[in-house]
Structure formats: C-alpha cells, structure tokens
Chains A and B, each alone.
Chain A
Amino acid sequence: MTAGHYQYWIVAVLMMTGLYVVISKGNMIKKIIGLNLFQVSVILLYVSMGKVEGGTAPIVAEGFEVYSNPVPHVLMLTAIVVGVATTALALSFVVRIHEAYGTVEEDEVLAMEDDSTGSDA
C-alpha cells in the first residue's frame, strides 16, 4: 500500500514542510518560500493524478493508444501562473516593508508597530 501510493507521501511531506515553514519562521522571505513549497505540493498532487499507467504525453500521434489525462496538467498551468503572481506580489510587499521598516523579520516589525500605535493609524 505504501509503495503503490508513494507520490502521496511526497505530497504530504512537502505540504507539511511548507506549512511548518509558513507558521514557524519569522523571516518574511522564508515564509514566502514555505508558501511556494505548499503550493508546489498541491501541484504535484494534481499532476500525479493525471498519470495513466503506460500512457504517453497527450499529443495525438500514430502508434499510440493510451494517453495520460491532460486535464490536471492544464489546470496546473493556471495554478502555476497564480503561484508566480502571488510570489511576485508577496516579494514586492517584502521589498516595500524593508524600505519602510528597515527589516524583514516579523517580530522586529511587530515591535516597531507596537511603539507607534496610534500615531500612524
């Protein structure tokens, strides 16, 4: 059972690693890396479910009868684009946070916000 579904183990381990990084790390860049890992694990799950045993790439050609399911791959193309956009936006926030606060460590930023509550609200 474990050997037949090894891709689920990879997905689960990657996903929990990503989630753990997002939750535990205070560095904003590291959080984004964790977020990416998390998204990639889901993308892997989709791609692996499209595989048909013995199937080839889904391009119609002579001599091939069995093709992999292309739908999950197409869906994941969109999800990858979403991931890229999210990462770019997150990084741009981090750049601007660094300009505004001089740090990308979450606890340092929080400490600065506590000092200035009210004044810049």
Chain B
Amino acid sequence: MTRHVILRALAKLLIPCIMLFALYVQFHGDYGPGGGFQAGVIFAASIILYALIFGLDEARRAFPPRAVELGVAAGVLLYGGTGVASMLSGANFLDYTALAHDPVHGQHYGILLVELGVGITVTAVMVTLFYQFAGRRRVE
C-alpha cells in the first residue's frame, strides 16, 4: 500500500478530525443530540478507515485486538460500576443523584460515566467485528 498517496494523505488529515468529532458527540450528549452509541460508532469508523487505507496489520499494531477486547469489557464494567457505586452510596441502581453532594452534579457525573462506558464498548465492539470479518481468510 505504498501507492495511493492522495488517499493516505487525506486519511491522515481526516482521521484525527473524525476522532475529535466523535469526542464532541460523546461529551456534548448531555446538552444536545449525541451520546455513547453514536460517538462509539463514529470513533470506530475512524479506526476502520485507518485499517482500510493502511492495511489490517497496521491497524492491529496501532489498536491491538487484545486491547480492543479489554475495551469491550471495560466499557460494560464502567457502566455497571457506576450503577453499583450509586447502590453503594445508598441510592438505587443507576440513581446518580447520590454520586455527588449536589444531586444535579451527581446526575451529571453519572450520565457522563455511563455514556463513556457505552462509548468505549461500542467502539471496541465495532472494531472487533471489523477485525474478525476482515481477518477471516477466504476459502475457495
């Protein structure tokens, strides 16, 4: 893949922007449309674009499959952990009001953490799916 100079140059320009946009969608989800699902898919799209342009092996070096798999687990644990934290502080599962002194702050932290968990898991799952399908050898 040493040719395709235009594609490679453009990808290098685009991928950081896509990642930034994903982060914007992720963290602006409190105020407007957005959130973990959408952000996760956008973030995964940037990684998949990277793999398409620079090859699967390069992508696997940058984002090792084992780390991605850990991401799948970490996201769910973050989500569930937030819920358990609110349970430990005396409220119901996923009742964020108890997470901080001020209920409004608590809600804010809670939804931020939960959406971050969702975002991580969705990214990791999408990338895993791509790795698995793309890494399959073709049988004739």
Contacts and interface: CB of A to CB of B under 8 A. Distances in A.
A91 B133 contact: yes
B67 interface: no
Interface in B53-93: none
Interface string A54-73: 00010100000000000000
Nearest to A77: B37
Contacts of A59: 32-33
Contacts of A57: 33
A102 interface: yes
Interface stretch (A5-13, A43-51, A92-100): A92-100
B136 interface: yes
A106 B37 CA distance: 35
B136 A95 contact: yes
Interface residues of A, number: 11
Contacts, number: 15
A25 B129 CA distance: 26
Interface residues of B, number: 8
Contact of A99 (B132, B133, B139): B139
Contacts of B133: 91-92, 95
A110 interface: no
Contacts of B139: 98-99, 102
A81 interface: yes
Contacts of B37: 77, 81
Nearest to A59: B32
Interface string B97-133: 0000000000000000000000000000000010011
A16 interface: no
A75 interface: no
B65 to A, nearest CB: 16
Nearest to A96: B136
A78 B122 CA distance: 13
8 contacts: A57-B33, A59-B32, A88-B129, A91-B133, A95-B136, A98-B139, A99-B136, A99-B139
Interface of B: 32-33, 37, 129, 132-133, 136, 139
Given A59-B32, A88-B129, A95-B136, 10 more contacts: A57-B33, A59-B33, A77-B37, A81-B37, A91-B133, A92-B132, A92-B133, A98-B139, A99-B136, A99-B139
